[in-house]
Chains A and B, each alone.
Chain A
């Protein structure tokens, strides 16, 4: 306790010394770490369905960020050593909660990063709130992180169900896909996706004919009953909200039942490069989807992707890139604050405007801690157009940051100051 008090005091003095400059880039001043070192903990799925899209390689991305940060600002950029810890939450909320508690209390972690799986992500938000330590969620999709579960220490970085629905739901409806049949995995993430897509499709003048939940986890890997139903309902669009391995099964069986030939278009809610590898690029060719980032979108993204490929032998998914970017921006905030004290860092992050290779037109909304930024409408290319391995998609258009973000009035977040 004394330590934090001293830390807070130091921050006050330092900010005073620097003229309280906010958002003006790195202060270049010295950083005082509360316990002599900075600890970043990455909690994610390292053995289950989401292990490939973030997992161990997300940890590598964070380590890369730390190394690059030191290369740029010098070994002593943060006034001490930086340690990256990691744990497998097995997609279980209780395990996630325990690990977070342990990292914050026993390992003195200053930040928890990543955390896919909405239920686990929400559990850690509660821990961050009581421990008063920072938590930047990257790979979970639920809007509740910046909605009813929002709190002072929790930030949501890369994407959410609102962004996905605004992108894919509205674009596909405007392209003429007016009637939708939505299938979703029946748990927090899927239900949230269904709600967001229903809103977006209706707002764009479309109509959701019906929606059905599929069992989660789907132990049989069989979606044929829902696909047969789609063949009966004859919607213009089949909206599949499943993720990871479930999505792969849906797409395989969608192709098997030849629903495309019956003019039932497939729209997917959430698509990672790793899913495209599993289904096969041609099986998904033409599919329109929303993503915060593509490794092939421009030169600076490619430069990161090349470095990542050298290190891990794969091209980064947007989750990998987002973890790097989030870790980087956190360290920048520490330099601006001159301390790793959570309250001081939060102050630096709130209202901060920035750009990096992952985030374009970034703005950290102080009211709900949603990190607002541009999103992309992408389309899967046929394999014949791919220039190299993992060259799966192209950018169709960009959604402006404010359009891709849920309006504050709908967020329902009351942030205790």
Chain B
């Protein structure tokens, strides 16, 4: 019983990463209608930025948690301005190709410099301990990851659904011409929104650094799951991405109790079921898909 309860926490930790990644994907897709294949590579860059900050500048985890997402978010904005922007009017396939190509370039660039094997990154001293939970100890850092990503997800949801800024962004998403007619400069918001989505991916990367192998391929492995999560939650739906992220994490971890091999299958099985029963996703509306 206790084992199951702890396993639930493991599921929430994995879910945190799925949620953060798919949240970024959902925000970008919602506003730009771009499926950002480079998201996994940017997540990996987040982890590497944390590693570099520590290694070369002695900057610890807490500051990295702020600096890395900002830096990579800005890099994302530059990418949007220079490349992605040019393909809006064309078939979405072109942006598939572009972002996928970017992924390969970023991955191989990092690989050339650092190799594939990975780099060490310690957990911050404050969270290096563990919380006793009956017979077994549970790492404090993992609890922090769950709490922190929940806070981030709720904050993002609040900004988009409940503030004036969020209202403008949503309006620009659904009726760009009408929003323009009301005197709002829609284009102004596109670049920051892309940068923000990218920053969320980088944030996930920093959070993952103390737990996972910091290697050039860490993102490409996770991104497939994040896409499955986005589809389950409903393309472009903020709440959907978050709920589906945690749901997939928990279900996969519980399935692993019965058979470790199931862990990798659950997300896709769930995706298939959702597509059959509710093609727009759990929280998706038909409008968001148009």
- A contacts, CB < 8 Å to B: 47-49, 51-53, 186, 212-215, 217-222, 224-226, 228-229, 231-232, 244-245, 248-249, 252-253, 256-258, 261-262, 274-275, 277-280, 283
Instruction: Tell me which residues across on chain A come within 8 A of B117, comparing CB atoms.
Output: 52-53, 244-245, 248, 274-275, 277-278
Instruction: Tell me which residues across on chain A come within 8 A of B85, comparing CB atoms.
Output: none
Residue of A whose beta carbon sits closest to that of B139:
A256
Q: State how many angstroms separate the Cβ of B213 from the closest Cβ of chain A.
A: 4
- B contacts, CB < 8 Å to A: 3, 6-7, 10, 13-14, 111, 115-120, 122-123, 130, 135-139, 141-142, 210-215, 217-218, 221-222, 224-225, 252-253, 256-257, 260-261, 263-264
Would B224 and A219 count as touching, CB distance under 8 A? yes
User: Could you tell me the distance between the alpha carbons of A87 and B154 in the complex, rounded to whole angstroms?
Assistant: 50
For the A-B complex, the count of residue pairs with Cβ-Cβ distances under 8 Å equals: 118
Given contacts A225-B263, A283-B122, 17 further A-B contacts (CB under 8 A): A215-B264, A219-B225, A220-B221, A220-B222, A221-B221, A224-B253, A229-B3, A244-B117, A245-B117, A252-B212, A253-B211, A257-B130, A257-B137, A275-B117, A277-B117, A278-B117, A278-B119
Instruction: Tell me which residues across on chain B come within 8 A of A219, comparing CB atoms.
Output: 221-222, 224-225, 264
Would A221 and B212 count as touching, CB distance under 8 A? yes
Residue of A whose beta carbon sits closest to that of B213:
A248
User: Could you tell me the distance between the alpha carbons of A215 and B266 in the complex, rounded to whole angstroms?
Assistant: 13
A186 touching B118 in the complex, CB below 8 Å, given contacts A228-B3, A228-B10: no
User: Could you tell me the distance between the alpha carbons of A258 and B260 in the complex, rounded to whole angstroms?
Assistant: 22
Q: State how many angstroms separate the Cβ of B113 from the closest Cβ of chain A.
A: 12
Instruction: Tell me which residues across on chain A come within 8 A of B221, comparing CB atoms.
Output: 217, 219-221
Instruction: Tell me which residues across on chain B come within 8 A of A245, comparing CB atoms.
Output: 116-118, 213, 215, 217
User: Could you tell me the distance between the alpha carbons of A102 and B6 in the complex, rounded to whole angstroms?
Assistant: 52
User: Could you tell me the distance between the alpha carbons of A226 and B115 in the complex, rounded to whole angstroms?
Assistant: 28
Instruction: Tell me which residues across on chain A come within 8 A of B130, comparing CB atoms.
Output: 257-258
Instruction: Tell me which residues across on chain B come within 8 A of A221, comparing CB atoms.
Output: 212-213, 218, 221-222
A231 touching B213 in the complex, CB below 8 Å, given contacts A219-B224, A220-B225, A225-B263: no
User: Could you tell me the distance between the alpha carbons of A229 and B253 in the complex, rounded to whole angstroms?
Assistant: 12
In the A-B complex, list the 9 residue pairs whose CB atoms are closest, starting with the nearest.
A280-B120, A278-B118, A52-B117, A248-B213, A225-B256, A224-B10, A231-B136, A274-B117, A219-B221
A225 touching B253 in the complex, CB below 8 Å, given contacts A245-B116, A283-B120: yes
23 contacts between A and B (CB under 8 A): A47-B111, A48-B116, A51-B115, A213-B261, A215-B261, A218-B264, A219-B264, A220-B264, A222-B263, A224-B10, A225-B253, A225-B263, A244-B117, A248-B117, A249-B212, A256-B139, A257-B138, A257-B139, A275-B117, A277-B117, A278-B117, A280-B120, A283-B120
A226 touching B260 in the complex, CB below 8 Å, given contacts A244-B117, A258-B139, A274-B115: yes
Residue of A whose beta carbon sits closest to that of B220:
A219
Residue of A whose beta carbon sits closest to that of B214:
A278
Name A213's contact: one of B3, B212, B217, B260 (CB within 8 Å).
Answer: B260
User: Could you tell me the distance between the alpha carbons of A214 and B261 in the complex, rounded to whole angstroms?
Assistant: 7
Instruction: Tell me which residues across on chain B come within 8 A of A278, comparing CB atoms.
Output: 117-120, 213-215
Instruction: Tell me which residues across on chain B come within 8 A of A262, comparing CB atoms.
Output: 137
Q: State how many angstroms separate the Cβ of B208 from the closest Cβ of chain A.
A: 8
Q: State how many angstroms separate the Cβ of B133 from the closest Cβ of chain A.
A: 10
A232 touching B213 in the complex, CB below 8 Å, given contacts A52-B115, A245-B118, A280-B120: no
Would B261 and A256 count as touching, CB distance under 8 A? no
Would A232 and B137 count as touching, CB distance under 8 A? no
Would B3 and A232 count as touching, CB distance under 8 A? yes
User: Could you tell me the distance between the alpha carbons of A272 and B52 in the complex, rounded to whole angstroms?
Assistant: 23
Name A256's contact: one of B142, B214, B263 (CB within 8 Å).
Answer: B142
User: Could you tell me the distance between the alpha carbons of A261 and B136 in the complex, rounded to whole angstroms?
Assistant: 11
Would B120 and A225 count as touching, CB distance under 8 A? no
Would B6 and A228 count as touching, CB distance under 8 A? yes
Q: State how many angstroms separate the Cβ of B55 from the closest Cβ of chain A.
A: 11
User: Could you tell me the distance between the alpha carbons of A215 and B221 in the complex, rounded to whole angstroms?
Assistant: 13
Residue from A53, A215, A221, A258 having most chain B Cβ neighbours under 10 A: A221
Instruction: Tell me which residues across on chain A come within 8 A of B7, comparing CB atoms.
Output: 225, 228
